[in-house]
Amino acid sequence: MSGNTSEKNITKRSSGTASERVVTPFTAIDLFAGCGGLSYGLRRAKFNIVGALEIDSVAAAAYRLNHEKTPLKESDIR
């Protein structure tokens, strides 16, 4: 993937000696969210979770408890 300018993780050189890692967070939506395990992992990996979708009301209730600040739509994906 070298030469790909669309990569989000970029190594930037300052004064030609040490390199500083600049990380731009990715944005994600958690589909078929369940209790939010994927959202949890993605958030730990510095992703920005902007929303979630879950059809099952019990799983959606668990998601809401685990991710209070993330908007959740409780409906079918169709």
pLDDT digits (tens, 9 = 90+) for 7-30: 455 555 555 555 666 666 899 999
The conformational region for residue 6 under phi > 0 = left, psi -120 to 50 = alpha, else beta, is alpha
Report the 10 Å Cβ neighbour count for 35. 19
The C-alpha atoms of residue 36 and residue 23 are separated, in whole angstroms, by 24
The β-bridge partners of 61 are none
Q: Residue 5: its pLDDT value, please?
A: 47
pLDDT at residue 55 greater than cutoff 80: yes
pLDDT at residue 57 greater than cutoff 90: yes
pLDDT digits (tens, 9 = 90+) for 25-52: 899 999 999 999 999 999 999 999 999 9
Q: What is the pTM of this model?
A: 0.68
Q: Residue 1: its pLDDT value, please?
A: 47
